[in-house]
Amino acid sequence: MKLPVTHDSMGLDDDLSGFEFCVVAPVLMLASTAFLGFFQGPANLNVARTGNWLTNSIWLSSYLLAGLALVSKVNLSREALLRCWPLLGLLVFVALSLMWSEDRLLTFLRLCALSGTTLSGLYLGERLTVLGQARLIVSVLTCAAILSLVACIFMPAIGIMTGELQGDWQGIFDHKNQLGLNMALSFGLSMLLFLATRRIGHIPTALLQAWSVFSCKSSHYCLAGHCLRRGPASASPSEFSP
């Protein structure tokens, strides 16, 4: 039986428009650390701390788009801002920490990043239902799983780790644990989506993500294994309703 999806008085949707998805999906893909090593180039301390011009340009563009979308597309109410007071308080605290920070440039960059991700999260939270947000994340991470599978099979020099971790999958990520973390998250959300919608199409997606978790031999396979042992019948779909 398909569970009804309730909407609040702000009229949240279950899906983004085509243009919105094309803008949001690449940003979420990069936020999962996919392709981050390709964009940042050879690892070094400065790039790891502050990023490079390409990644910073992508983040800045996404933050500006999220801010514009909040102003133009989403009817952001005072109640919504009041609900986010812990996040706003955190931003104020981080801003104040500039006064005693030993590396004010790095602190300022982290403040900009935190402000931008807060804007992005606020936009998605005010735009989509919980179910819609889960679908968006699963869609993006399923693309990451498929691309990782292609990289491991056809480009093993990129998709498979070397050295002490020889043979473990890393896919389009920098490390196997990043692949395992994202696939475990996506697997859990896919199972919850199946429970909420009873759509059989979520099962192949969940199996692909579970296979990715076990193939990378990450410690996060424990999460997927726990979900499998519990089984779908033991979870509560009502917990997933917005």
* Cβ-contact 179, 170 below 8 angstroms: yes
Does the pLDDT of residue 28 top 50, yes or no? yes
Q: What are the structural domain ranges in the chain?
A: 15-128, 129-242
Q: Name beta bridge partners: 37.
A: none
Q: How far apart are CA 151 and CA 156, in angstroms?
A: 6
Q: Looking at per-residue confidence, does 17 or 99 come out higher? A: 99
Q: How far apart are CA 140 and CA 189, in angstroms?
A: 12
CB atoms within 10 A of CB 47: 14
Q: How far apart are CA 239 and CA 237, in angstroms?
A: 5
Residue 189's pLDDT is 92
Half-sphere exposure (Cβ direction) of 34: Cα atoms closer than 13 Å? 24
Say which residue the tokens 């899906």 belong to: 15
Residue 229's pLDDT is 52
Does the pLDDT of residue 162 top 90, yes or no? no
Q: How far apart are CA 93 and CA 109, in angstroms?
A: 15
Per-residue pLDDT tens digits for 87-125: 888 889 989 998 998 888 888 888 888 888 888 888 888
Mean pLDDT of the chain: 77
CA angle at residue 68 from 63 to 69, to 5 degrees?
Answer: 95
User: What's 3's DSSP letter?
Assistant: P
